[in-house]
Structure 1
């Protein structure tokens, strides 16, 4: 029997799902991405990921970008991103993978991954919420707690940038894997990492993955990339989600001009994000919705 997407996701740490973007949404998203990328490259949109930095804060003096932050932001004027983020087909997969109800989903991040124009770039091997120097015991504890959110990439062009180590979301690194991931440097060849594979997506395909699976990415300045990059959380995650999400600055999500462009489902998801920030003590614990 063919395993379910939930079984594949739990076993491997990732699963590829085709067909979630309808033809209509594919066209609308592609055109919106073209406009957003143009604004980012021109400097009109400041919220971007810049070459030389893997994590925030990013260097806005660097004009070469590998990502666009906050694509649902009302200042961009592209409501199709929020429409798709809250679409039933997408969220049905999220609910299945997280085994949660619709009223437990919270809105988190939605960004866009693009190719730099002037430099090749790569991200180092990492887990999103486990430090590279964590001990095996610390890793095991963190991995066991990381089950209340899912991250995904949806390719609008063919995309072969992502590398992962299947099943690494469940177990600490081996000594050899640790040697490849404890450094701050990007790998010269990602496939030197033991058990690593390259994930290739055709246009319209989505890879859902546990963001604490070992992963890295390469960016070719000569090959166009346009990949929607987002995550949704389960309210049961509490502070484990706050640590990873709120560092990106999401105060704009609390504004009426953003909420007014959402349907009932989206507004409820935003309210749960705000409730998470409140429940962990906000700035008192170093977590804030930011600017």
Structure 2
């Protein structure tokens, strides 16, 4: 009997992304929304040091000090950058209530990891704990990310791009929207090809990239998500994000690895500093089945960190 490929995996292979509706709903969604509001407020107030600051696209990021920023503005009249993301949602210092809600969201049965298993065609025993962060609306000024692939630099030659793109992905990455989200822009199919000359020559912040439709390429599109929807995408698809102060955004941004790709994934994951706290992550909120999965995933992440040594950073601003 022929076993058909999972439709989520088929879409991910073809397009570089797949939208999954209603991954979370009801009381679970409400709890996440409430935790996200508390967490975003804490980060914007400068009470959570692990943030992504406006003006810097890739790690490492500096701490956001709101009091210092407002003092500087009063002195020189210049708005300070603010934040566009919150890091380390499962870190114990987040507080038992909210860290527990985010931890439950990451490891929950019939949640994001079960979609990830489908796109990775694997079992729980293959999963490696990775990242769980949050993308938020900036306070002071609009912010746009440049066109990029997460782990392939802009100076890579076409041959270097193809060498990296043809390697197995060994990860699943997702954005889980807690409210409506239209911030992610992707070029479908670009995870399977090198950039065209037109794409290479384009301004990195260009609103619309040139599209070689004669070569069978597809134009960019904006991914539309509703509350509880998720988009899973290959992190080396050509993509960018657009953040507007006037448009609320609170979207969970996570990833999970496959044990077969430890050496390949180490830098992409460990550059975010997750190794500093993962051994203290509290799994007491999970069911027995979820806790067993979480413990195994954490053990595989710790093993990856011990075997990788210093990893540096994938990209620079």
Instruction: Normalising by structure 2, report the TM-score.
Output: 0.83
CA distance in 1: counterparts of 2:279 and 2:124, whole angstroms: 23
Are residues 84 and 240 of structure 1, via their aligned partners in 2, closer, same or farther at CA, if it must alter by over 3 Å?
same
- Count of aligned pairs: 280
Partner of 1:88, secondary structure, is: coil
Q: After TM superposition, list the pairs within 5 Å mapping 1:1-291 onto structure 2.
A: 4-61=7-64, 64-77=82-95, 78=98, 79-89=100-110, 90-180=112-202, 185-187=204-206, 189=207, 191-194=208-211, 195-256=219-280, 258=282, 263-280=291-308, 282-283=309-310, 286=312
Q: Which 4+ stretches in 1 moved above 6 angstroms? A: none
Distance 1:257 1:231 in 2: 16
SS of the residue corresponding to residue 200 of structure 2 reads helix
Equivalents in 1 of 2:168, 2:254: separation in Å? 16
Q: CA deviation at 1:68?
A: 0.3
Moved more, 137-146 or 250-259: 250-259
CA distance in 2, matches of 1:266, 1:84: 12
Moved more, 23-32 or 52-61: 52-61
Q: Is the 8 A contact 2:275 2:302 kept in 1?
A: no
Cα displacement (A) at 1:63: 5.6
Gaps of 5+ in 1: none
Residue-by-residue CA offset, 1:15-51 (whole Å, 9 max, x unaligned): 0001110312101100100110110011000100011
The separation in 1 between residues aligned to 2:59 and 2:266, in whole angstroms, is: 15
Q: Deviations over 1:139-176 (max 9, x none)?
A: 01101124100110011111111100001111111111
SS in 2 for 1:251: helix
Q: CA RMSD in A?
A: 2.0
- Note the residue ranges of structure 2 that are not aligned, 5 or more in a row: 1-5, 65-79, 212-218
Whether contact under 8 Å (2:21, 2:229) holds in the other structure is yes
The Cα shift of 1:259 comes to 5.1
Q: Secondary structure at the match of 1:137?
A: helix
